[in-house]
Structure 1
Amino acid sequence: MAIDQVHDLQQVYRNLLDCMARPATIRKVEQTTGLSEEQLPCNEALFLCALTVLDAEVSFCILAVDGKTEKLAEMITSYTLARETSMEQADFIIVLQDAVKDQVHKTLSVCKMGNLINPQQSATWMIEVENLSNNGGLTLHGPGVKQFKQLQTGCSDTFWQTRNRKVKEYPLGIDLIFADQLNQISCVPRTTSVELTEVS
């Protein structure tokens, strides 16, 4: 793989931190993997985010069509030594664009959200989307957002309604990372209030 796993992934990590600190901020991931579309079962930005935050101490679950799930799981384990596990136990939930919506909603309902003693023991979601923009879709409020900000992810109303229920008992909840086909990323942490502003 062409990417420098120290220097390049540090740049991705800085972008992720910036996006988590400033929800709905969209950042371009300039780094590349050197892998072709045929070799990579997801977009580059999503894969780079996975390489950046996963390691041998954490687990993951992939939601996608079967062939892609197996291939991506093998690649992630090979590069990071992270282990694949169930949706209920995973530290990271990786969702590809072709994932079945019912499976996504079920996983969202049962995934880890931490507890009052260890709220950090929750699931972080990494979601592949077609296009991220700051035009409509959602209105975000909360820490790191001046007044309000809009974000369009393409995720369904049902997804966001379930997400909002998961974060009602802060500090419990889940954090979301989005990555699109243009290698853009954006984040919605559990501290962010999300209002639906249009029918998706």
Structure 2
Amino acid sequence: MHSKTQNLAGGFPDAVLNSQSVFRTLMDCMARPGTLGSVAPTVAPPAPLGIAAGAVMLTLCDNDTPVWLSPDLTKSGTTAWLSFHCGAPLTREKAEARFAFLEAGAAMPPFSLFAAGSQEYPDRSTTLVIEVTALSGGRPLNLTGPGIRDVATIAPMGLPEPFLHQWIGNRALFPRGIDAVLTAGRELLCLPRTTKITPLEA
């Protein structure tokens, strides 16, 4: 298969039903921060974009949602794949992006460079979709806040180093602020801006 054709393959077999399925998973995970969700539909995005991240892209991105991609994703077949399947415009300006995607190991830009919304329109913010090595086996983190009964614990492996420090400042902006989706393989979990993250003591 021609390389260009390969870059355009791998979308949802049934765009409507599959996007509805992933959207329900995302909404469930966003309502219950820290809950692991799994992408059921078959999807094969071009490397280094992961399966769950690709499914999120297909589900949420359209011609009204500017997308920012990390440098390595921009150089990959992801740009053509995004354009072909979603029609979403790419932007180099992080503050213009409704969604931002980072592959595993990508450098984490400062949260302040992305849109945090306004007091009147807090929903006009960027959602970060961050691929990690795995959603288990890493440093345990306690989650508290709306949608969590008592405490939820997650242990993502390969979370970008500046993430936790930047998340503290992000929560202080409420009701403004960004939301995050962590992905690994077919799995994902959501971290809305209202979630407090506390590293467990070793």
Q: Which runs of 5+ in 1 are unaligned?
A: none
TM score, norm. by length of structure 1:
0.87
Q: Distance in 1 between matches of 2:162 and 2:138?
A: 20
Secondary structure (helix, strand or coil) at the match of 2:69 reads: strand
Higher strand share: 1
**Number of residue pairs matched?**
190
Aligned residue in 2 for 1:189: 192
**TM-score between the two structures when normalised by the length of structure 2:** 0.86
| CA distance in 1: counterparts of 2:180 and 2:81, whole angstroms | 22
**Aligned position for 2:67:** 60
Q: Deviations over 1:21-62 (max 9, x none)?
A: 0000001111112x3x7x443111110111101111110101
Alignment of 1:134-149 (within 5 A): 136-149=139-152
Render the CA deviation track for 1:115-169: whole Å, top value 9, x for unaligned.
Answer: 1011111100111111113875211001110100111223145211112202212
Name the % identity.
27
Match of 1:41 in 2: 48
> Quick one: which of 84, 94, 98 aligns to 2:101?
94
Tell me the equivalent position of 2:132: 129
Query: What is the SS of the residue equivalent to 1:105?
Result: coil
Q: Deviations over 1:98-129 (max 9, x none)?
A: 42x2xx233x2311101101111110011111
1:7 and 2:2 aligned: no
Secondary structure of 2:140's counterpart equals strand
SS at match of 1:171: coil
Question: Does the 8 Å contact 1:119/1:173 carry over to 2?
Answer: yes
Identify the residue that residue 71 of structure 1 maps to in structure 2.
77
- Write the distance in 1 (CA, Å) between the matches of 2:169 and 2:176: 11
| 1:64 and 1:98 in contact (8 A); partners too | no
The answer (yes or no) to whether the contact 1:157–1:196 under 8 Å persists in 2 is: no
- Counterpart of 1:19 in structure 2 is 29
Q: Does 1:163 align with 2:167?
A: yes
